[in-house]
Structure 1
Amino acid sequence: MNLFSRLTVVLCCLFIFSSSFAQTFNIKDYGALSDGKTVNTAAIQKAIDACYQNGGGRVYVPAGVFITGTFHLKSNMDLYLENGAVLFGSPNLQDYESYTKPDYGLNYYGILYTVDAENVSISGAGTIDGNNKVFFDFDKAKKIDANGTRFTRQKENYRHVESGIGDGPVVPKDRPRQMVIFSDCKHVQLRDISLLNSPFWTLHFADCDDVSVTGIRLWSGILVPNADGIDVTSCSNVVIANCDIRSGDDALVFVGYDHHFEIPGFKGLRHLSENITVTNCNLQSYSSGIRIGFLDQNTVRNVHISHCNITNSSRGIGIFLRDQGSLENITFSDITIETHLHTGDWWGNGEPIHISAVRGKENVKMGVIKNVEFNNITCIGENGILLYGSDESAIQDVRFNHVSMELVNSKLNGVMGGNIDLRGCLYEKEQLFESNIPGLLAHYVNGLTLNDFKLTWDNTIDQPYFTNGIEVNNFKDLKIVDFKGTSSPSNKNLPVILLKDGSGAVIGSNASISKQNVDGFEKIK
């Protein structure tokens, strides 16, 4: 390249660099003060409006702590948070925009609520902080109602805490809702920022298309109820990568909401969620590390999650069908899961993998969970793997390839162990109830394949409710190939594999097998 060509390239780069900052709107130029007492909502919104009216650009938040209520981004802009910049949630609920929701009364939006925007982003090394310390009583724990524990093994002693608040969750006061919302938006990006101390869901995408979240730190507070990490409802074409998410409630949520359930202002154009990729994330939650599906549900499909770590969670991966719609074409690859029992009113009972399809609403036709695959998964948990379908919605075509499960002892077995948690279902007896715990329990599953499944037990386990290695009942077309494992140390004489009420079983294992009312059984080498 000659000198003239090099000079041309340099000048072009300088022009592009300078142009990218030509449209910068510093919130301080519109009256924002980082004095620890000024509420800067109006000043921030003025900077945003000026950016929008001038064709877009960058809204710049310099270093400093800026107290704010609810503001709204608009199309063609980047909210840039400088290193050391903090948008700090006001402690006063009146500084947040309010709305009335049927059956819920008066509510408040969080810090940032963006609707009908395109080409919008939040970036930089700064922070959005929801100031949740003022919206909770951190000296009190929210407990499960005694009526909700009457079918558990421990009855009123279920999840009993000797002193203090245990694992929470702490008790909420009146509080803002979702801290950051994007609704009916296209081409949305979040990069590198920190989202901290949310009083409710932290980051919510509703009815959006083309969403990218990369490199963020999201710590909502591990003791805080309802403080989900990222909730994706009825969105298409979503990528979440290289994030550190630590939340009290579910770290990642993917649902396809039926929009009568949504808050005012949500148009509900898409209904389903599809084409979702998650990779290279660290997740922690006192509920589910990853949750897919639930109530008021439409279809979620084409979800691919890989190279993630789920640690110290009440439940690792949870797929829940309680309503109409389907949950389908879902893969998990190269994931490490570590789960524990936790006290308090958290959902989940230590299962590394939980898939359930039970009725949650009357007068709807139940959907189906189908085509789910787990590849190269390592599980360490204080409860077994649970696949729990129902006679009206059997789980279909689930494949475990190269999966290991280590079931370890827990100091909380006395107050929590030996139960199944299906909360969110319609019938009270199915919500929290006493059960034997095999290493893997499959109930109403058609087309289950276990290929290279390894099960190990902590030798100190002595609770009698830990039973077989694998139990499968009410099934069709079961295949178990290259299984290595035993029954529980507390029940060594039980058959390792227990099959009941099914048809079509192909087993390639030297483990002991018990069959009860099974048609079409074949044992292969």
Structure 2
Amino acid sequence: MKLTKRSFVVFAVAAAGCLMSRAAVYNIVDYGAVSDTTRLSTQAIQRAIDSCTEAGGGTVLVPAGSFKTGSIFLRDNVTLNLENGATLYGSTDIKDYTPVTTGYVSLRTVTPTIQLIYADGVSHVAVTGQGTIDGRGSAFPKLSWNDEGITRPHLLRFICCSDVSVEGVTLRNSGCWMQHYLACDRVRIDGITVFNRNNYNNDALDLDGCHNVTVSNMIADSDDDGITLKSTSPRLCEDITISNCVISSHCNAIKLGTETNGGFRNIIVRGITVKPSADQSSQFFGFPGGHGHSAISLEIVDGGTMSNVDIADITIRGTESPIFIRLADRRRPYSKDVPVENVGSISGVRLHDILIDEAGPGGSSITGVEGHPVRDIELRNITIRHKGGQKAVAAPSDEKIAEYPESTMWGILPAQGFWLNHTRGVIFDNVRIEAITPDARPLFVATDSEGFVTKE
């Protein structure tokens, strides 16, 4: 294409205008937000977001101050940036939260849900900065078994979004799950701090049926699960890399499950430190001293498949039953119209270069279902130091194949190291089990387990 001097100038000005639009900053104060936690700034913040996306995108700025808000909705090409010293406080009045529905069918979207910050079908969206978002979730009591997101708001919820970034911010005190990313593509979570120990179902992070995700440099302290991958629809969680995080959890620090309708594939976890929480002021789960149930839980219980999972370079202090690999047959459907008709599978799991100290006496387990064994599992260069002091016990007679999976579901296991049941091709290579006090149980017990190998 040939450009005259005049047309080139017009083109250059238009391009510069486009760049300026995308770089524009929309300060919520200019739209009526007030640094006063007795006054709602929801409408002002939403006006800033809407103006930003209508102009082609940019940054919605939350300046230093304390702002109260109900539900806000992020739009395309919007970065919500919280300056150092800025805090968004969630309203403690449930009437300030907007119930929403989504067209995406999953276990957790069958009823309208409420959340502080929400995005559905949005692309190029981010939450960044050095500020804080505090959901004040203790204001919302647990009213029923499955009321999370219904009468207790999520703090962040993204559904069917793409090119999502959450960086730098501190997230505190959600009414239930802190962050739920459902069926999202290309998600980047980096350098955030999470404290979520004020209510039930206080997970730190839930990636649910997401593709192409990196999570790095997160420090999280949660009463419920820490880093959790889920599959509450037929969509697998796949191509996920998690690295360089410090996790405290009263439940499971790293967990694939419990919901597993689609499953998990190509998951890499590296460089994680698991430790007890220093703050015991609120505790809904866990054991004395802040110990969680498990450090690593890998579960398929609602159909689905798990394959190509590699977890390494993990340092763990505490947890009662550190490693839990569970194939079972609960068959909870993601929709009442789509029953689960198969057991699912677990294969191709590698756990290596893991140091576990101060573990409880319960023991770890790798268990499948009769006729549906867990296959092709390698555990290498692992040391477990546990409390010990137990008498010999028999293997559990009730396999509990339809129950909620939990690493402590059988109590004290027959092995101080690992109990294997219904497995094929499990290899232990340089796996050391050390009891602090004498323990009468063998290091390994294997039932219906072919190809079970231990190497020094």
- TM tier relative to shorter chain: 0.7 to 0.9
Contact 2:307-2:348 within 8 A present in 1 as well: yes
Contact 1:107-1:177 within 8 A present in 2 as well: no
The aligned counterpart of 2:8 is: none
- Taking the aligned partners of 1:287 and 1:61, their CA distance within structure 2 comes to 34
> Is 1:442 matched with 2:438?
no
> Is 1:238 matched with 2:213?
yes
Please list the CA deviations of residues 193-228 of structure 1 after superposition, one character each: whole Å capped at 9, or x if unmatched. Answer: 00001111001111111000000001111x532011
Pairwise CA distance, 1:175: 3.8
SS in 2 for 1:330: strand
Pairwise CA distance, 1:136: 3.9
Contact 2:127-2:166 within 8 A present in 1 as well: yes
> Is 1:109 matched with 2:83?
no
Contact 2:148-2:177 within 8 A present in 1 as well: no
The aligned counterpart of 1:400 is: 379
**Mapping of residues 306-455 of structure 1, within 5 Å:** 306-312=270-276, 313-340=292-319, 350-361=320-331, 364-380=341-357, 381-382=359-360, 383-409=362-388, 425-426=401-402, 432-433=409-410, 435-438=412-415, 439-455=417-433
Q: 1:392 to 1:67 in 2, by over 3 A?
A: farther
> Is 1:475 matched with 2:449?
yes
SS in 1 for 2:47: helix
- Taking the aligned partners of 1:457 and 1:278, their CA distance within structure 2 comes to 31
Q: Greater Rg, structure 1 or structure 2?
A: 1
Contact 2:231-2:259 within 8 A present in 1 as well: no
- Taking the aligned partners of 1:279 and 1:62, their CA distance within structure 2 comes to 31
Please list the CA deviations of residues 446-483 of structure 1 after superposition, one character each: whole Å capped at 9, or x if unmatched. Answer: 11111111111012x56xxx51111112111122110x
Please list the CA deviations of residues 128-150 of structure 1 after superposition, one character each: whole Å capped at 9, or x if unmatched. Answer: 1110232248xxxx9x9xxxxxx
Contact 1:58-1:79 within 8 A present in 2 as well: yes
* Partner amino acid, structure 1, of 2:425: G
- Taking the aligned partners of 2:108 and 2:255, their CA distance within structure 1 comes to 25
The aligned counterpart of 2:190 is: 214
The aligned counterpart of 2:12 is: none
Q: 1:173 to 1:80 in 2, by over 3 A?
A: closer
Pairwise CA distance, 1:393: 2.3
The aligned counterpart of 1:184 is: 160
Pairwise CA distance, 1:424: 9.0
SS in 1 for 2:30: helix
**Mapping of residues 113-124 of structure 1, within 5 Å:** 113-124=118-129
- Taking the aligned partners of 2:386 and 2:302, their CA distance within structure 1 comes to 31
Contact 2:120-2:158 within 8 A present in 1 as well: yes
Contact 1:442-1:471 within 8 A present in 2 as well: yes
Q: What percentage of residue pairs aligned between the two structures are identical?
A: 27
Q: 1:428 to 1:327 in 2, by over 3 A?
A: closer
Q: 1:96 to 1:404 in 2, by over 3 A?
A: same
Please list the CA deviations of residues 377-396 of structure 1 after superposition, one character each: whole Å capped at 9, or x if unmatched. Answer: 01121031211111132111
- 2:133 aligns with one of 128, 131, 137: 128
**Mapping of residues 181-330 of structure 1, within 5 Å:** 181-221=157-197, 224-258=199-233, 271-295=235-259, 297-312=261-276, 313-330=292-309
Pairwise CA distance, 1:188: 0.6
- Taking the aligned partners of 2:400 and 2:232, their CA distance within structure 1 comes to 15
- 1:457 aligns with one of 435, 440, 443: 435
- Taking the aligned partners of 2:67 and 2:202, their CA distance within structure 1 comes to 22
TM-score relative to the length of structure 1: 0.71
The aligned counterpart of 1:487 is: none
Note the aligned Cα RMSD (angstroms). Answer: 3.2
The aligned counterpart of 1:504 is: none
- Taking the aligned partners of 2:46 and 2:414, their CA distance within structure 1 comes to 55
Please list the CA deviations of residues 217-254 of structure 1 after superposition, one character each: whole Å capped at 9, or x if unmatched. Answer: 01111x53201111011110000001101111111111
SS in 2 for 1:25: strand
The aligned counterpart of 2:68 is: 67
Contact 1:135-1:174 within 8 A present in 2 as well: no
Contact 1:451-1:480 within 8 A present in 2 as well: yes
* Partner amino acid, structure 2, of 1:474: D
SS in 1 for 2:370: coil
* Partner amino acid, structure 2, of 1:57: G
Q: 1:423 to 1:248 in 2, by over 3 A?
A: farther
Contact 2:185-2:213 within 8 A present in 1 as well: yes
Contact 1:295-1:360 within 8 A present in 2 as well: no
- Taking the aligned partners of 2:188 and 2:108, their CA distance within structure 1 comes to 33
- Taking the aligned partners of 2:399 and 2:193, their CA distance within structure 1 comes to 29
The aligned counterpart of 2:282 is: none
- Taking the aligned partners of 2:192 and 2:21, their CA distance within structure 1 comes to 23
TM-score relative to the length of structure 2: 0.82
SS in 2 for 1:50: helix
